[in-house]
Amino acid sequence: MVGSGCWRALETKGYKNLIGYSSKKLDLRDQRAVYDMLKSEKPFAIIDAAAKVGGILANSIYPYEFIMDNMLIQNNLIKAAHELDIPKFIFLGSSCIYPKMAPQPIKEEHLLTGSLEETNQWYAIAKISGVKLIQALREQFNRDYVSLMPTNLYGPGDNYDLNNSHVLPAMIRKFHEAKENKHKEVLLWGSGTPKREFLHVDDLANAVVFALEKNLEGSLYNVGS
């Protein structure tokens, strides 16, 4: 969803020399394959929109994969980008990197000031390590690398599988199927009291293009509605 959104935004801005790899074409968990690809392609910039993602159920079933796969993906890309002197890197994370009880609205400086939400801590820890890796490269090597933390996303290319989707596509599917089957009720998880922020993927993509075209001063920026 995010990768195709960024592709659309770049094409709209007139960019033509775009390179994209699906997970079927390139296993980003394979360090040698990632390095060889980047050495061959020699890109000016990398947008890391790849991740193993899912909702509460998927995080609870696959905690090992959620932390290990995501760390391998981002570490292989960031390490190779640095070693091959690729000028720009956009690392995309998630708002779940922030503490469960962070003040609202969440600010970048709230990172690592409290305990994480238990239901997605595995994914969050992987993404926090990526944020810190980007920060370390900026501070030690003056790299023009940036971390963008989007809020809950939705839009074209979303995943509607009820076992591993996020909250909004899951709700859309449940409402759609309830209407199709003429059900009078729809069962949703939770108490209904927490507030959630949602952002269309094309709006995130515009923020990614903005970050690519600017020399930003900081290493971490929230992207929300």
Closest CA to 59 of 74, 51, 77: 51
Closest CA to 213 of 94, 92, 108, 90: 90
Q: Where are the domains of the chain?
A: 2-158+197-223
Distances in Å between the Cα of 200 and the Cα atoms of 5, 11, 94, 203 are 10, 18, 14, 5
> How confident is the model at residue 30, as a pLDDT?
98
Cα(215)–Cα(220) distance, rounded to whole angstroms? 13
> How confident is the model at residue 58, as a pLDDT?
83
Domain 2-158+197-223, what fold?
Answer: Rossmann fold (3.40.50)
**87-110: pLDDT as tens digits:** 999 999 999 999 999 999 999 999
> How confident is the model at residue 210, as a pLDDT?
98
pLDDT less than 50: residues of the chain:
none
Active site residues: 123
